[in-house]
Structure 1
Amino acid sequence: MSRKVIAVAVGEAHTLALTADGSVFSWGRGTFGRLGTSKNDDELFPVPIASGDPSGLHFVGIASGAYHSLALRDDGSVWSWGYNAYGQLGNDGENQSIPCLVEHFKDLGLPDESTEDSTKTPLKISAVKAGGMMSMAIDSHGSLWIWGNCPQATDDGGFCLLSSDIPLPVWSFHGHTVVKVVCGNEHVVAAVSTGETFNGGDDLVCYAWGNNNHGQLGLGDNESRARPQVISTFNKESPWVVYEIACGAFHTAILANKKSYDQEIVSNCWTFGLGENGQLGHGTTKSTSLPEPVDALPQDAFLISLDCGLFHTSVVSSAGDVWSWGMEKGLGLCPDASFSGTDSGDALFPLRIRAPETNGIRFTSPMQVACGAAHTVLVSDNGYKLWAWGRGRSGTLGNGSITDCYIPSAVMWPPHDVILQDKKSKEDQMVSKTGEDGGEFAETEELNSLRTKLSLMERYANLLHISIFRKPLDERKLPQLLQESSVFDIKKELEDVLEKADDEELTRLEMFYEGMLSSVKDKLMKRRVKELVKECLLSLSNGRQHYPV
């Protein structure tokens, strides 16, 4: 269970992963304490967050704003850490580098009848969400709370952004159930039941409010709203029912099913708001204030996950197809992206992301996609694999490197701590079976040290394999040469890769080479690498069966 990821949340340049056993791991940029590790250092691999409670924390939900993070505990309490300039942590203190309890909900519940004093049962939260400098929570009654840099009404009925370190209720939805909520830099979108309760059917209506300078509210104009207003495309009478929503900095994306009585499920992605980087996927850089479908997506694809970065958008289908569009070929804010010629620029239409593990277009058993400012993370294999691509600086991709990657790169999962935890659990079980003395299964300090070194070597070998072959090392698919001998002829393996590669694969190899070369700072080393590659290509073109070393 500690290896299975059930949710990911992505901030500006950091990522959170929630596992099935209630643990939270983080990686990427560490400034402001956003990783929750008790320090501000960057992390190149997933690491467990620090525990802000001596009794330990078991989480069931996570969320990321630009520079802060939220987590929902199994007892319904909310914990926060990271940047707090706008009160988005739910307290009036400084930035926090470990999870801290949002105290406000403790005294909002009903009186505890089991005690004679005035103690109240804390209000339980059922979902958390964050974006930009805002934080939000949905309580167990379906009510919405918001804090941080929030859209609010002025005394004259106008619109403003108000910083609040106290969670404020959104009274507009009183008598209804808020099912989902998301936010961009300064706008909020929510899916709310038409009746008092949500029955899981077609009774969801979409509301939006906040800054609307680019039409990101989908209301047909550019006028900001201080209070929620129904998006007419997804109102009670609409033939479409919303099931997923996401916000970029200044654009919004929605997944909706067409109401049908013939059991045929038809889904589509709708986008609106700022479009100057192609993040709407409509084939232009025009902005739009009304929801428009992304027609370039296949009509027969059932979309299961959606997210928006600052200026890009990504979706995933149930079949394992992944598409991205927007800034820098759908990578987000990557000013150093090494595209050139006709390949450069923003993606105005959805681009299909290829799966390196299968050398095909589909990922195995996908679950969720999440977007940051300049990177994207995909959960696949029913939660047992993580992929990331985009900007790599500060360890954002979780693969041990700070190099940008324009194709999916395997996140180092499970992390080292999980591997050691699993080994220790097995060792404890063996010791308990053989008595306190340990018998033949007792582990010596030397053996433990060797196992730790083996784990580190496994990670190192995997990194090398990813660097060369662009996919994780799978012991089930080891080359026959290595299975039959203790010597691995890396030159021959590279030769086989090149001989079997098609034009597209060779293009990807060239992109990898250019990215690798850009990370070499020593001029003499860079020149030597170029010379070696040139000699290698010449030897191949001449039909020689060897590589220069």
Structure 2
Amino acid sequence: MSRTALSVKFKEDRNVRLENGRPTAADAKDTAAIREVLQRHPGLSIRRLAPRSAKAVSTEREQLEKRTGRQLPDLNSWYHIEAASGIEPLLEALNALPAVEIAQADPQLAAPAEPLQGEQAYRQAAGAGVAADYANAQPGGKGDGVTVTDLEASAQVRAAASEHAIAAGDHHSLMVDTSTDPEKGGVVWAWGRNTWGQLGRGHTADRDVPVQVRGLPRIKAVGAGAGHSVALAADGTVWAWGRNSQGQIGDGSVTDRARPVQIKEAGGQTLTGIAGIAVGPFHTLAVKSDGTLYAWGYNAHGQLGTNDVGNRPSPYAFTALGKVDTARGGIAAGYRHSVARMADGRVLAWGDNEFGQLGNGGTGDSLTPVAVKDLNGPAQLSSRGFHTLALREGQVFAWGYNRYGQIGDGSRINRNVPVPVSGPATVTQVAAGQYYSLAKSSLTATPFWAWGSNADGQFGDGTLTSPDKPKSIPIRTPLIAAGLSHSLGVTFGSALQVWGDNAYGQLGNATTVDSPAPDELGMTPKKWNLCHEEFTGRQAPGGAPVLLPDDQFDERCDYVERGHGIAMSGIIGASDSNGAGLAGIAPNARLQLTPASVPDSIALATAHSKPGDVLLYEVGVVTPQQGTAGPWYPWEFHASVYDQTRLAVAKGVTVVEAAGNGSNSLDSGGEPDPDGDGVLCEEDDPGDRYACVVMSRPNSGAIIVGAGEPPAPAGSTCNGAAPARSPWPKSTYGSRLDVQAYGHCAATPSYPGVQNLTPGQTDPNKMYHGDMGGTSSASAITAGAVAALQGVALKTGDGSPLSPEDVRTYLRATGTKQPEPSATERPIGPQPDLKRAIELLRVVRSS
């Protein structure tokens, strides 16, 4: 279970809603109790689970209740909460509130793991397969008019809330992700302008969503210049890429680099032992763990400390400076000047001083370090343009250029010595943008401040007003970054907030529209390679697959390691008219691709579906104790998923759900309430609590799918001799399962390293594998069969889609039965037979 995210359902009669970001109930006592619990856990964020307005959700629910004659769950009662760390006390406190029906930690999810059309045995006639060839030959039988949404298990990207984990350049942004691989962490994402390759992707095309920078070791800090990017690895090495006209990359050349290069000293030895970095628009600083400062890049004003004005394309060891303090925030790189906090607490600066940014009381440039006046022992230094910020004992100081009020003293007069900034108190971090300043405070009432230029909305206050005194703004974030005219922040749930200028997509929200208020990114990496040949050539009516939401991270054409999504969507909707590869069971169906880690993924997919459409849950729930090696359960174990599933089914959308790959029985839950205390499926009750939860509820209406053994042409299975349609050994089973399909030996589009049908192929967009399996492949085959059946229904009789209940009845009644004794001992249901199901449909609609 997650330790930072939970879902809570308030009792419907308590009418809990969010007002100005705070929960409010019909009863004032409930309001006070809920708020008191949440206030005990500072730094959390709460949001509605449903993506649509409360009114729209209520209206649809009322219409569905009227149509079905059943009481349905109120999605407006569900909320999603993210906290900085351990949520166990919060869960306990919420579940103790009279207004709460259930609060539940988010579960640990796992993916239930044409020339080649002959390899697709699951397309064969009844008994051997689901009779897809027959269905495809019928009017509508390729899934015409049906949308299938593939919801894939995925982990959200999480921004590291540590120094320099986010960075804003002129028109691009960087972020260090700690969650893509929790064991390794340190993945870098980049987005925005890419004229000089500053996104590190090997090309110069801009990107308006984050893309992964490959070829790096584990990274702990990043910095962004005007057109170059720098990363500090956990092993103390430094990497850089992008614009290099002034030698700011540090690789000994002035050649732009579109991919990361490791930085070496002028003598050729690797630059190692680095403790911190600071990146200016055109020069770079790095401090070694022994306090030695290195500098490289642009030096027209002596900002590198070389005592001359010649650029340096390789790191220069500024040993004459003395020992720099290696703790957080000890160095800063402005546009043409540099600042450092020394080991003895002094602050020294050198380089351009046209506007007093060296803080020494003058305005003359200095090739050698000068002392910043009256400022010893600051906790942090920050600069980017022509002014400098310092933080000491919670007080902000500023000096330098002040045309836009970025000093924050109420004037537009440049300051050549540090002046205290009034307003912000108990400040914990500062960030200097080009012509503006940001500060975050530990005070709950005034957590965030901004001053200076706000011409592009970089304050995040929803306006374009530019004050010369600090303005308090209700943004709550443990980490901030300021660029030329856009800003970044991290929520307490480790999501990324972005606001300001977006001309090049530097906000990463899939647009190029400026945002004067914070926009929280979805933080979800896509799970599909949309440039695989099976999807680039999809013709109408299905067309190209659609990402939902459209701001999923990474390149559209990147193959995804462990490419589960491409395989499952390929089973359903691979093109059958491109003369390559495979043919989907429903090649004319429209495909929507949604990561399950989006908190409201099911509600989002349902909102973009109509009666007759299909949702495929390629998600399984595993226990935190055993992970994927232990028992597995359907996704609807989670109460919010169960409620959203019921609403989708009531709308007329068929839900197909993987049972899981745990070799466990869903019938092993025992009595739901053995002690008679009215609390179902308690931790200390006998039996499998997870199974108990799944089986103790009324049927959600989803079609739950098990994995069966496929036959081979010779009559045995492709990987053994188990009887066809007997349970695949790892399949979850039980009386709740409705149907089965191939649990291995399923041919699919694939990715490098998993490509036994195309062993010599080097193009990731032309790779195929012949042994995809588990309840993953079984569920995808079933979803394709449902789409094909619904396509025929739309062309038969009155042309209405089948209800989800009818779909399940047709598949079970006409499917090829599971053989005994396994049907009794480990039931997984019959295998769909589309030919018989379509024949039954025609009989029913002709009568």
SS at match of 1:103: coil
Partner amino acid, structure 2, of 1:323: W
CA apart distance, 1:456? 6.5
CA contact (8 A) 2:405 2:436 kept: yes
Matches within 5 A, 1:493-504: none
The more displaced of 284-293 and 73-82 is 73-82
Amino acid at match of 1:9: A
* Amino acid paired to 1:72: L
2:309 is paired with a residue whose SS is strand
Q: Which residue of 2 aligns with 1:97?
A: 258
Q: Pick 1 or 2: higher relative contact order, CA cutoff 8 A, min separation 6.
A: 2
Looking at structure 1, the residues matched to 573 and 314 of structure 2 have their Cα atoms a distance apart, in angstroms, of: 48
Structure 1 position 309 matched with structure 2 position 433: yes
Q: What residue in structure 1 maps to residue 571 of structure 2?
A: 446
Question: What SS is found at the alignment partner of 2:311?
Answer: strand
Q: Which moved more, 1:161-170 or 1:344-353?
A: 344-353
**Structure with the largest fraction of helix:** 1
**Amino acid paired to 1:161:** V
Asked whether the 8 Å contact 1:151–1:209 carries over to 2, the reply is no
**Structure 1 residues 148, 371: CA separation in 2 closer, same or farther (over 3 Å shift)?**
same
Equivalent-residue separation in structure 2 for 1:135 and 1:158 (angstroms): 13
Match of 1:255 among 391, 397, 400: 391
Give the direction of change, closer, same or farther, for the CA distance of 1:251–1:330 in structure 2 (3 Å limit): farther
Structure 1 residues 177 and 391, CA gap change in structure 2 (3 angstroms): closer
Structure 1 residue 407: Cα displacement: 0.8
Does residue 1:347 correspond to 2:495, yes or no?
no
Aligned with 1:188 (options 338, 344, 348): 338
Matched with 2:452 is 326
Report Cα offsets for 1:171-198 as digits up to 9, x if no partner. Answer: 233355454211111011111111xxxx
Counterpart residue number, 2:358: 217
User: How much has 1:338 moved relative to structure 2?
Assistant: 10
Question: 1:108/1:311 Cα in 2 relative to 1: closer, same or farther (>3 Å)?
Answer: same
Match of residue 207, structure 2, among 43, 65, 74? 43
Q: 1: distance between equivalents of 2:324 and 2:561?
A: 49
Cα deviation for residue 67 of structure 1 reads 0.7
Residue pair 2:361, 2:373 contacting (<8 A) in 1 also? no
Q: Look up the match of 1:138.
A: 287
TM-fit CA distance, 1:461: 8.8
User: Is the counterpart of residue 82 in structure 1 residue 234 in structure 2?
Assistant: no
Q: 1:160 to 1:477 in 2, by over 3 A?
A: farther
Give the direction of change, closer, same or farther, for the CA distance of 1:286–1:448 in structure 2 (3 Å limit).
Answer: farther
The equivalent residue for 1:3 is: 157
Shift, 1:367, TM fit: 2.2
Quote how far apart the aligned CAs of 1:152 are.
6.5
In the TM superposition, 1:384-533 aligns within 5 A as 384-416=494-526, 445-446=570-571, 453-455=592-594
| Equivalent AA in structure 1 for residue 418 of structure 2 | P
- 1:33 paired with 2:33, answer no
Question: What secondary structure does 1:324 align onto?
Answer: strand
Using the TM superposition, give the Cα deviation of residue 162 of structure 1 relative to its aligned residue in structure 2, in angstroms: 2.3
Answer whether contact 2:431 2:439 (CA < 8 A) is retained: yes
- Output one character per residue of 1:217-249: Cα deviation in whole Å (capped at 9) or x when no partner: 1111112211112212113xxxxx311111131
Mapped partners of 1:400, 1:444: distance in 2: 23
Task: Report the CA distance shift for 1:451/1:75 in structure 2 as closer, same or farther (over 3 A).
Answer: farther
Look up the match of 1:288.
415
Cα deviations by residue, 1:347-375 (Å, 9 ceiling, x for unpaired): 2122233xxxxxxx242xx2211011110
Q: CA deviation at 1:34?
A: 0.7
Deviation at 1:323, TM superposition (A): 1.5
Higher strand share: 1
1:122-148 Cα distance to aligned partner (Å, 9 max, x none): 642222221110011111212100000
Given that residues 333 and 382 in structure 2 are in contact (C-alpha distance below 8 angstroms), is that contact kept between their aligned partners in structure 1? yes
Do 2:242 and 2:257's aligned partners in 1 also have CA atoms closer than 8 Å?
yes
1:147 paired to 2:274: no
Kept in 2: contact 1:178–1:190 (CA 8 A): no
Amino acid at match of 2:378: V
Relative to 1, partners in 2 of residues 1:448 and 1:146: Cα closer, same or farther, differing over 3 Å? farther
Aligned residue in 1 for 2:404 = 277
1:30 shift after superposition:
1.0
Q: Cα distance 1:476–1:97, how it changes in 2: closer, same or farther (>3 A)?
A: farther
List gaps (5 residues or longer) in structure 2: 1-154, 179-184, 528-551, 575-588, 605-637, 653-847
Q: Which of structures 1 and 2 has the bigger CA Rg? A: 2
1:392 shift after superposition: 1.4
Deviates more, 1:9-18 or 1:344-353: 344-353
Q: Which amino acid aligns with 1:217?
A: L
Residue of 161, 164, 167 corresponding to 2:309: 161
Match of 1:12 among 165, 170, 185: 170
User: Distance in 2 between the 1:457 and 1:210 partners?
Assistant: 51
Q: Give the fraction of aligned pairs with identical amino acids, expressed as a percent.
A: 24
In structure 2, do the counterparts of structure 1 residues 476 and 45 end up closer, same or farther at CA, with 3 Å as the change threshold? farther
Judge which range, 24-33 or 68-77, deviates more: 68-77
Structure 1 residue runs without a partner (length 5+) = 110-121, 195-203, 236-240, 258-266, 354-360, 429-441, 466-474, 489-549
Structure 2 distance, partners of 1:399, 1:444, is 25
Residue 280 of structure 1: CA displacement?
1.0
Instruction: Give me the whole-angstrom Cα distance separating, in 1, the residues matched to 2:403 and 2:276.
Output: 33
For 1:69-112, what per-residue CA distance to the aligned partner results, in whole angstroms no more than 9, with x for missing partners?
A: 11122332211100001011112141011001112278558xxx
Cα distance change of structure 1 residues 310 and 95 upon mapping to structure 2, 3 Å threshold: same
Amino acid across the alignment from 1:31: T
Q: 1: CA distance between counterparts of 2:514 and 2:351? A: 34
Match of 1:369 in 2: 480
Secondary structure of the corresponding residue to residue 172 of structure 1 = helix
In structure 2, the CA distance between the partners of 1:352 and 1:333, relative to structure 1 (3 Å rule), is closer
> What one-letter code is carried by the residue in structure 2 that aligns with 1:143?
T
Aligned-partner Cα distance in 2 for 1:482–1:319: 41
For the 8 Å contact 1:45–1:412, the answer to whether it is kept is no
Tell me, in whole angstroms, the C-alpha distance in 2 between the residues paired with 1:452 and 1:143.
Answer: 56
TM-score (norm. length: structure 1): 0.65
- C-alpha separation in 2, matches of 1:290 and 1:482: 63
* Partner Cα distance (1:67, 1:158) in 2: 23
**1:176 to 1:291, Cα distance in 2 relative to 1, 3 A:** closer
Q: Deviations over 1:279-332 (max 9, x none)?
A: 1111111111111111122x3xx2222111110111112346121111136845
8 Å CA contact 2:454, 2:466 repeated in 1: yes
Aligned residues: 403
Distance 1:229 1:397 in 2: 37
1:231 partnered with 2:372 = yes
The code of the aligned residue for 2:289 comes to S
Amino acid at match of 1:43: R
Q: Distance in 2 between matches of 1:318 and 1:87?
A: 39
TM-score, normalization by structure 2: 0.43
